Each structure stands twice: as structure tokens, then as C-alpha cells.
Amino acid sequence: MILQGIAFYVFAALLVASGVMVISARNPVHSVLYLILAFFQAAGLCLLMGAEFVAMILVIVYVGAVAVLFLFVVMMLDINFRELRQGALEVLPLGGLIGLILLSELAAVAGGWIVAPGVEKLAAAPTPAITTVTNTHALGQLMYTQYVYLFQACGIVLLIAMIGAIVLTLRHRVGVRKQDVGAQIARHRDSVVAIRKVSSGEGV
Amino acid sequence: MAEFFNGFLLPLIIIVLKILAITVPLLVAVAFMTYAERKIMGAMQLRQGPSLVGPFGLLQPFADGLKLFAKEQILPEGANRVVFYIAPMITFFLALVAWAVIPFDYGVVLSNINVGVLYLFAISSLGVYGIVMAGWASNSRYAFLGALRSAAQMVSYEVSMGLIIITVLLCVGSLNLTDIVRAQETIWFAIPLFPMFIMFFISALAETNRSPFDLPEGESELVAGFMVEYSSAPFALFFLGEYANMILMSAMTSILFLGGWLSPLPFAPFTWIPGVVWFALKISACLFTFVWVRATMPRYRYDQLMRLGWKVFLPFSLFWVVLTAGVLVTFGWLPK
């Protein structure tokens, strides 16, 4: 038990510390690396709570895919971030206000979970006990039965976002040499090579 | 004191010994993998391969290692010191930690976790960081180009790899690696899911940046890609990491498709051989194919690589997920 306590405080302290470093690091690439460290600490906290599936998905999706693309973009940007930081103090009140609004929303959600009607019923039996069924089974049973419409709606939103991103960025340029694999494979020797007998001094 | 010893210290010592029992043979295997690669490629190209150090050149990998560690470490000018040195460590570290969940035989596993496949997938998808960080921190154009290529390549092939793993999971009904192997007692998944087996192996080639997908280090156009600025021990760590990753990917292929530690035929003369030996033999067969491909295939062009990943592998593996799910549901074969 004491080991778990120590692990929790180590993960939590490192999470907060790396979160602070994300916004205070001078070099934007270092910021992204600290963000990745923060994701790892969050995954560690999930593991401590017994949410192994969520922890692994967090690492796979955020660290393995999203943060790689972040890093990819940030490395290629050539921006002087010190110049960008110049006016940071002037917008500090606005940033603080947004932070406060988000915090109060979080409190509202947490409060709603306590006082909302019908919550006891949901909270009483969210999933079977962790000893009888694995994380993955429990999540699947809940997501594909009770919340199946919401789950499908999420999928549709993501699909539309993806198609939207493609439509917005796709440009059809003319005069680009493209490789058509089908046409290449379909080429036959007879249609592209002609053998002629050339007698000397005459040409083709 | 006795309570402290029995409750805390003894388990710790046992775990450390278990870890050593996995990593030490693994590192020896990595050393001999480099030797085997040179010997096999030598035979395929009608050469001798290493033959002078020790009998049949068997001590060549150790001579190479000593040479590498005795060389001078060079930090390029303008390089980011911390990230530059962390990058090879991450590559090597990730190649080793993944082995924590690999079952070598029934019950012979360091940590038998419920989400073993996801753990392996997560670790293998992190491999890109070592390369990207190395490329960026080197402050060199060649290294940076190699890193960018590698980031795009590994993210692309992870997608189809994930879908291939999902087809296997549909047939097993569990994310536990031991369960996955035991589900193959009747038939290895390589037979009913044969196209997925081939695609998984090709994706593994791309994930480990091996030929014909070794564009991140493409020596003909990028000198040596992301590791061009590295020398001495950090270079050795990259090298060891790459080969340990190859062995890991071969182990994943054997567990997901070739029945892990199971013997090919479930009766007497075959079952006398212990499971660890079968597992090692399957890994060796996969590794041989890795080398065979390297000695045979020319390198892909970058646009061809992307086309293969996104336009061939992704749609086909997605189709196969739907097909597998459909067949399992139609015939009532879904695992309980």
C-alpha cells in the first residue's frame, strides 16, 4: 500500500512539474518533449487506478501518434518564440479568465455528477467488479450496449472532421507527374517496343 | 526485519534476477544477430562474411563492440547536448522494456498483464522518438531529413499494424499474450489469416526501418540518415536497439501468427522439445527472413512507400477486419 502511495505522489508531482515545463520551456521542441513526459505520468496514474486499458490507449494515441505529429510540426517551424512571448503579460488577464471559466465548468460537471437525479442508479453499477471482468471487456460491454448511439455519433463526428480536413487541404494541381501503378503493370512489351530491321545507310 | 526481507526485499531480488535472465540472453542474441546477418548476406552474395576473429568469425560482434566503445565520442557543434544523448538511450531502452510481457513458454513471462498486446503496440510506436530526437538534436540537415522521413513512415505503418492486430484479437477475444498463443492450439493464425500475416511482417519491416523501407538511414542519399552525427557508444546503442527491435518484431510475429511456444504438430516427438526452443526457432525463422529481404530487395522510393502504406495496406487491413468480424458472427465462432 505504501508503495502505491509513493508511486502516486511521484507520478503526480512529475505530471504537474512537466506540465509547468511545457509552458515555461524556452525551446518549443523541449515543450513537446515535456508534454510527452506529462502523458506518461498520466498513463502511470491511470495504471495505479487499475485503468490499464485507458493507460495503454493514452500512450498509443497521444504519445505514439498525436505528439509525434506535434513534434514533427514544431521541429520544422522556424519561429522566434521569444518575440512571440513579448506581449504575453498583456493577455495574461484574458488567459486567467479563460482558465477560471474552464475551472468552474469542471466544478459544475463534478458537482452535477453528485446532485443530478438518477445518478445513484448509474453510479451504483457502472461496470462489474474489476476482479471478475477485465477493463477491456467492461468498457466494451458498456460502450457497445448502453452508449452505442453516442459512440457511433462520436465516430461520425470524427469521420466528418477527417473528410473536412482533407477537402480543405486537397489541391488538384495540373502538370504534376503522377505514377499510375495500374497503367505501369498493364504495359505490355508489344505495345511499347517495336523491333525494326534497319538496313545500313538508310535509317528508320 | 524478517518481514521486510520476505515482503519487500526478496521479491525485489527475484524480479531483478528475472530481468537479468531476459536481458542478458537478449543482448547476446543481438550480438550474434549482427554476426548472423553478415554471414547470411555473405552466403547469399557468394562471399565468406566475417571469418577471422575466433572460430568461423564467431567473436566478430564482440570485436566490433569493443572497437565502437573505444572510439571517440563526438558532439556536433550546435547540437542540443541533452536530447542528443537521450535519443540513443530511448531507442535502446524501448527495445528492452518491451520484453517484459513476452511469454517464452506457458507461464514463463515476467509480467502477465491483461493488455499485453496494447503494451507491445505502445512500446513499438514509441520507437520513433529516439529517431526523431536524434535527427533534430544533431543539428544536421541529413539527420533531420532522416528523422522526418522516419516519423511519417512509422506513423503510417502503425495504422495498418493496429488493424492487423485487431483481426487477431477478434479471433482470440483477449488482449493477453498468453491467451493469444493458447487460442492457436487448434490452428496457427498464420493459416486462416494468411494475408494479414504477410502484411504484418511487411509492416514490421517498415516499423524497424529495415530494408526495403530503410529510407530514414538511406545511405545513398542521406549518408546515414538520423545517425550520421553519432559515434562510439551512442552509435552502438542505436545499432543494438535496431537489432533488438528486429528480434522483438519477430517475437511479436511468432506470438500473433505462428503460435508462440506451441509445437507445430501436437503429438509426441514434437512436444518433447520445450516451448522455449520452438519459440526461439520461430523467432530465428522470422529473423532469417528479415536478412533475406535485405539481401534481395531494392529500397522503395519514398512516394511508393507512402502509397503502399496508405493506399494498399490500410484499405486491405480494414477490409479484412470487417471480413473477419463478419465471418465470426455469421458462423457463431466468436470467442466467449
Which residue stretches of chain B are H helix? 2-4, 10-44, 60-70, 81-97, 116-137, 141-172, 177-182, 194-207, 219-222, 232-257, 268-271, 275-296, 302-307, 314-330
Compute the radius of gyration of chain A from its Cα atoms: 28
On the 0-12 / 13-18 / 19+ scale of CB atoms within 10 A, B230 is buried
Confidence of residue A126 (pLDDT cuts 50, 70, 90): low
Q: B113 to chain A: which residues are within 8 Å by CB?
A: 52
Give bridge partners of residue B108 from the DSSP assignment. Answer: B105
Q: B132 to chain A: which residues are within 8 Å by CB?
A: 68, 71-72, 75
Q: A63 to chain B: which residues are within 8 Å by CB?
A: 122, 125-126
Query: Range of A49's domain?
Result: 1-81
A128 pLDDT more than 70: no
* Rounded Cα–Cα distance for residues B236 and B238 (Å): 5
Residues A71 and A143 in one domain: no
Domain count, chain A: 2
B267 pLDDT more than 80: no
The interface predicted TM-score of the complex, written ipTM, equals 0.82
On the 0-12 / 13-18 / 19+ scale of CB atoms within 10 A, B228 is buried
- Cis link prior to A28 (omega < 30° from 0)? no
CB-based contact A21:A8 (threshold 8 Å):
no
Residues A7 and A77 in one domain: yes
Closest CA to B246 of B135, B127, B84, B132: B127
Which range, of A116-120, B289-293, B322-326, averages the lowest pLDDT? Answer: A116-120
| Assigned domain for A55 exists | yes
CATH of the domain at A25: 1.20.120.1200
Distances in Å between the alpha carbon of B103 and those of B181, B261, B262? 9, 8, 11
CB-CB under 8 Å, B144 with A75: yes
DSSP secondary structure string for all residues of B313-330: IHHHHHHHHHHHHHHHHH
| Assigned domain for A8 exists | yes
- pLDDT tens-digit profile of A173-200? 888 887 788 888 888 888 888 888 888 8
Size of chain A in residues: 204
Mean pLDDT: which of A81-90, B150-159, B166-175 is highest?
B166-175
| Assigned domain for A52 exists | yes
B64 pLDDT more than 90: no
pLDDT at B315: 93
pLDDT at A3: 79
Q: What is the mean pLDDT of residues B47-64?
A: 86
pLDDT at A161: 96
Q: State how far Cα B327 lies from the chain centre.
A: 31
How large a percentage of chain A has pLDDT more than 90?
A: 25
Mean pLDDT of chain B: 86
pLDDT at A127: 61
Distances in Å between the alpha carbon of B320 and those of A86, B34, B248? 53, 35, 25
Tell which wins on pLDDT, A115 or B306: B306
* Rounded Cα–Cα distance for residues A145 and A157 (Å): 20
In the numeric block, which cell numbers belong to residue A72? 514533427
pLDDT at A143: 85
Confidence of residue B252 (pLDDT cuts 50, 70, 90): very high
pLDDT at B164: 93
| Assigned domain for A86 exists | no
* Rounded Cα–Cα distance for residues B282 and B197 (Å): 14
Q: A134 to chain B: which residues are within 8 Å by CB?
A: 114, 174-175
3-state secondary structure of B79: coil
CB-CB under 8 Å, B304 with A33: no
* Rounded Cα–Cα distance for residues A11 and A47 (Å): 11
* Rounded Cα–Cα distance for residues B208 and B154 (Å): 8
Q: Using a CB–CB cutoff of 8 Å, tell me whether A68 touches chain B.
A: yes
Residues A67 and A1 in one domain: yes
| Amino acid at site B327 | V
Which of A33, A60, A136 minimises the CB distance to B175? A136
CB-CB under 8 Å, B132 with A52: no
Confidence of residue B306 (pLDDT cuts 50, 70, 90): confident
| Assigned domain for A70 exists | yes
For B95, residues 6+ apart whose C-beta sits below 8 A from its C-beta are B127, B240, B241, B242, B244, B245, B248
How large a percentage of chain B has pLDDT more than 90?
A: 24
In the numeric block, which cell numbers belong to residue B186? 487448434
SS3 for B58-69 is CCHHHHHHHHHH
Confidence of residue B197 (pLDDT cuts 50, 70, 90): very high
| Assigned domain for A175 exists | no
| Assigned domain for A96 exists | no
B148 pLDDT more than 80: yes
Closest CA to B254 of B126, B141, B102: B102
pLDDT at A123: 63
DSSP letter at B299? P
| Assigned domain for A185 exists | no
In the numeric block, which cell numbers belong to residue A164? 473536412
Q: Using a CB–CB cutoff of 8 Å, tell me whether A42 touches chain B.
A: no
Q: Using a CB–CB cutoff of 8 Å, tell me whether A76 touches chain B.
A: yes
Distances in Å between the alpha carbon of B126 and those of A11, A68, B300? 20, 9, 23
